[in-house]
Amino acid sequence: MRPNIYINGRFLSQKMTGVNRFAFELCKALYKKGFIFEVVAPKKIRNDYYPDFPVVNWGNLSGPLWEMVSLPLFLSKHENSFLLSFSGLGPIFYKNQVITIHDLAFLVNPEWFTKRYYWFYKIFTPIIARNAGKIITVSEFSKGEIMQYLGIQEEMIVVVNNAVNFEKSKVPPTGKVIEGKYLLAVSSLDPRKNLLRIIEAYKQTGIDGEYKLVLVGKSDRVFNMEATTEITERSLGYVSDDQLVQLYRNASLLIYPSLYEGFGIPPLEAMSLGCPVLISDIPVFREVFGDAGWYVDPKDTSDIRDGILAILKNSELRRTLINQGYKCAESYRWERSAGKVIEMVNEMLYTDE
């Protein structure tokens, strides 16, 4: 009997962050490829999403309780159910499932998170990782950390890269969000994103009369960081995809000297839209972006400052970064990532047929 394949749709009730975008875009790409599944979601889903794939609304709960109580109840009522979770952990004790761990930042740098968030994931991540049939992650770097910190065998982990969904030729212009020249930083209010060093490096460049510094991203209560006045004065907060596309298109530079990532979606989005990128010299960025970005020491404010000035003042360097960025972004496609998911599921479910 062939199993019923379901996808954990809790992400449809949450804002479109990087993790939730991964889930949404994978669902769209899987559906385009003819993969048969249904997304099981809470009753209330956000207007951010316009799913063209089948969605079943189920249960009266929301948040983690929906995932831990309502979703397993649904699965128990449908015989031979197989679950894919692309964003959150999924039901903790459900065995017939694949989970996704994007990174292990909460174990590597617990001080970045609230104690409640840290302890929840520290306790339950190892349990669900051992129970799952397979684990998806987004880079070889994260795969190595899952093996190191959780003791998971290599053959249990499948790397499915993030990809880019903003294509320069397919997104119509909608006007400028910011007038004049500006540098852009896109991130949540998260200590790893290095926002204070970005601001300090920008101030040290002496270009504030010519270029603005614009911050984009939402605050999140799971992170152990409060917005300073300097952050809030420069921040646009959470913006729509259309606004974000225009911000990338018109920015002189994306600054992304993150201290830690599992992948790093904003640099890839910026590259796909012709915006040169300054990124931190950390192993995962070398893996993902190769020679498509300008690398700096994320803990050295003066190195970030010098990188900003180098890109702004050297037109040949800018052209090279833009061209390399296009090539890099072209190599990451949701269709390819969906193909890896389908290959994994076929190996797990149908190899004996």
CATH (domain of 203):
3.40.50.2000
Residues 150, 12 share a domain: yes
Residues 31, 14 share a domain: yes
Residues 304, 240 share a domain: yes
By CB atoms closer than 10 A (0-12, 13-18, 19+), residue 88 is buried
**Domain of 69, in residue numbers:** 4-163+333-349
Based on the structure, what is the number of domains in the chain?
2
Residues 215, 149 share a domain: no
Residues 344, 279 share a domain: no
Residue 98 belongs to some domain of the structure: yes
Residues 228, 202 share a domain: yes
Residues 57, 123 share a domain: yes
Q: For residues 238 and 48, give the distance between their C-alpha atoms in angstroms, rounded to a whole number.
A: 12
Residues 188, 326 share a domain: yes
Percent of the chain topping pLDDT 70:
93
At 160, the pLDDT band (50, 70, 90 cuts) reads very high
Q: For residues 237 and 323, give the distance between their C-alpha atoms in angstroms, rounded to a whole number.
A: 30
Tokens of 38: 């249904």
Name the nearest CA neighbour of 337 among 179, 138, 41: 138
Contact between residue 247 and residue 217 where contact means Cβ atoms under 8 Å apart: no
Is 127 a residue whose pLDDT tops 80? Answer: yes
* CB neighbours of residue 247 within 10 Å: 23
Residue 263 belongs to some domain of the structure: yes
> What average pLDDT score do residues 160-169 get?
78
Residues 230, 148 share a domain: no
Name the nearest CA neighbour of 128 among 76, 77, 74, 64: 64
Residue 168 belongs to some domain of the structure: no
Residue 172 belongs to some domain of the structure: no
Is 251 a residue whose pLDDT tops 90? Answer: yes
Residue 113 belongs to some domain of the structure: yes
Least confident range from 40-44, 226-230, 275-279: namely 226-230
Residues 138, 189 share a domain: no
Q: Which residues touch 53 (CB under 8 Å, ≥6 apart)?
A: 27, 28, 30, 31, 37, 39
Residue 175 belongs to some domain of the structure: no
Residue 8 belongs to some domain of the structure: yes
Residues 342, 220 share a domain: no
Residues 343, 243 share a domain: no
Q: For residues 117 and 190, give the distance between their C-alpha atoms in angstroms, rounded to a whole number.
A: 13
Q: For residues 215 and 189, give the distance between their C-alpha atoms in angstroms, rounded to a whole number.
A: 10
At 227, the pLDDT band (50, 70, 90 cuts) reads low
Least confident range from 192-206, 227-241, 262-276, 314-328: namely 227-241
Residue 171 belongs to some domain of the structure: no
The average confidence (pLDDT) of the chain is: 90
Look at the alpha carbons of 342, 343, 344, 347 in this order and tell me if their dihedral is positive or negative: positive
Is 172 a residue whose pLDDT tops 70? Answer: no
